[in-house]
Chain A
Amino acid sequence: MATKASRAAARLMISPAVLLLLGWMIVPLALTLYFSFLRYNLITPGAHPFVGWENYYWFVTDPSFKVAMVNTLQLVGGVLLITVVGGVIFALLLDLPMFGQGIIRIMVIAPFFVMPTVSALVWKNMLMNPVNGIFGQIAKAFGFQPIDFMGQIPLLSIILIVSWQWLPFATLILFTAMQSLDREQLEAAEMDGARWPSRFIYIVLPHLSRAITVVILIQTIFLLSVFAEILVTTNGGPGTASTNLTYLIYVSSLLQFDVGMGSAGGVIAIILANIVAIFLMRMIGKNLDA
């Protein structure tokens, strides 16, 4: 509650942020939408005729669109599965009494601070390279044929790399949530005769459920836009084997200079992200009231 004067001041103070964000949202969005209905290629000069839904039609019917959609879903789903399960395990483990917990936590969290281009390159060359990479060297030492990660299983390789980057995030958040668990609840359950698996299922997991939801929603937003990892490892290949939606749009617009097509893809990506965002906003909105 406040006075007229302070409310007026508040409006003034908040307006730069609102105007900037409004402009940042509306201008590119309107342009993307507009371009998506034009035949507009940067290499072919001249008029940009209005072509209706043509760009959408070609973008969606292109076989690589279907592949990219499937890849996007596999990438998001795969990384979520690995990071959430791994994150819960790490959160539980880090919660155990041990020596040097701080140092171990710092080690586990480190990958999060590594920029995507670095982690992708390091994994591609130092770990996954079939000749000199560590995985290859270990395979050879045990007499196995090394796997050509980027050639044979490009998408899975990228899923592994991205999971490595996001595991710390999941761990950090789940571990924080773990620490707010009331220890007396666990002791009460123990007194009630609940063994460890029951305690985990009936007490720990419900307590973590909110944090897990947050992890899933926030990661999904970012995972839908995975780009740099693909760019520096496989370039979406071989063929389109590791192309996701973001990368496909990048290829159309900045490599093939087809602004119209790229924009149509952009609109589709926005719609997809919005579906996820709605769930996320609901979650956060509820949290605001609490």
Chain B
Amino acid sequence: MGRIILDKVTKSFGEVEVIPPLDLEIDDGEFVVFVGPSGCGKSTLLRLIAGLEDVSGGHISIDGKDATEIPPAKRGLAMVFQSYALYPHMSVRKNIAFPLRMAGLDKAEQEKRVMQAAEVLNLTDYLDRRPGQLSGGQRQRVAIGRAIVREPAAFLFDEPLSNLDAALRVGMRLEISELHKRLATTMIYVTHDQVEAMTMADKIVVLQAGVIEQVGSPLELYQRPRNTFVAGFIGSPKMNLIGGAEAEKMGAATIGIRPEHIEISDTEGTWKGRVGVSEHLGSDTFFHVQTEASPEPITVRTTGEKALEYGQDVFLTPRPEHLHRFDAAGLRIE
């Protein structure tokens, strides 16, 4: 079905190597998310898998067949683009039917499959509209519809939610996850938003500068980040990373502690500090505390009921079992 293997894949644009040799295995039916800051090569990697770009070296195999030289249309993959890339001059019906028309399916079969897709995606009432008359979320669903009618070996999503507003994004996130559960087809999803990665993925691939920093399930990445980059990238609010004397005391170049793993007390603790800005979210409260331990304020997460004055003196104590230690190269010390 949809097992994709990248073997020493590289990509250069002229002199610039965007992706140094990279190996990755994606199992059939997996929901894999490529996540990383912008310019990390995650979209390029997706386009290499899609066949929209040539690899500069290495091989890509899909279902055991070497697909490196196969043109995009023949790879059996479907892609949902960031801008949705709907054909503005065609109705929703024609948009969804386009890949079927290109495949030469007869009209009745086209109509049947379009109707199926439309039902799954709640688009039945909009089939005769043009993309321009739809809302962002509806357009997104049409793009997905166009992808699912082909019954591809795998779906490729290129930052599909980045053009939607925050509320819609949460809804579409659920819909895509739901779709994945129902179809059980391989999905490769590119995003720069670590929340999307955490909530949707079976497997997250964290990329930086074309290099895979870590591959693992969301919880693996959260609980055991392999290096300081992953530690800082995954999780919101960010993990507190502290260098200098405090780290040395614990035999590391850098130590990391997540905001929810710090006890805050008025009377005693490891680090003395002064409360700065507090952010009340209702469910949680984040305190930014300036301490002697690090020049950056340390973020502490508490329950929503907790209240502290601006400028108040407090004490912070990291829970030792949740301390992450990293060496001078930024790698995790077990």
Contacts and interface: CB of A to CB of B under 8 A. Distances in A.
Do any beta carbons of A and B sit within 8 angstroms of each other in the complex? Answer: yes
Interface of A: 1-5
B268 interface: no
Contacts of A3: 51-54, 71
Contacts, number: 11
Contacts of B54: 3-4
A2 B53 contact: yes
A165 to B, nearest CB: 38
Interface in B9-68: 13, 51-54
A5 B52 CA distance: 10
A20 to B, nearest CB: 29
A1 B71 CA distance: 15
A94 B221 CA distance: 65
B74 to A, nearest CB: 11
Contacts of B52: 2-3
Q: Looking at B13, B52, B54, which has the most chain A CB atoms within 10 Å of its CB?
A: B54
Interface string B52-92: 11100000000000000001000000000000000000000
Interface in B73-130: none
A182 B52 CA distance: 41
B71 A5 contact: yes
Contacts of A5: 71
Interface residues of B, number: 6
Nearest to B13: A1
B48 to A, nearest CB: 10
Nearest to B48: A3
Q: Looking at A2, A3, A4, A5, which has the most chain B CB atoms within 10 Å of its CB?
A: A3
Contacts of A4: 54
A24 B52 CA distance: 36
Nearest to B71: A5
A220 B16 CA distance: 44
Given A1-B13, A2-B52, 9 more contacts: A1-B53, A2-B53, A3-B51, A3-B52, A3-B53, A3-B54, A3-B71, A4-B54, A5-B71
Interface in B159-182: none
A191 B13 CA distance: 51
A40 B91 CA distance: 65
Nearest to A3: B54
A241 B51 CA distance: 67
A61 B51 CA distance: 66
A2 B44 CA distance: 11
A279 to B, nearest CB: 31
A12 to B, nearest CB: 15
A4 B51 CA distance: 10
Nearest to A4: B54
A5 B68 CA distance: 12
Nearest to A5: B71
11 contacts: A1-B13, A1-B53, A2-B52, A2-B53, A3-B51, A3-B52, A3-B53, A3-B54, A3-B71, A4-B54, A5-B71
A3 to B, nearest CB: 5
B233 to A, nearest CB: 26
Contacts of B51: 3
B70 to A, nearest CB: 10
B53 to A, nearest CB: 6
A187 to B, nearest CB: 34
A5 B71 CA distance: 8
A4 B69 CA distance: 10
B54 to A, nearest CB: 5
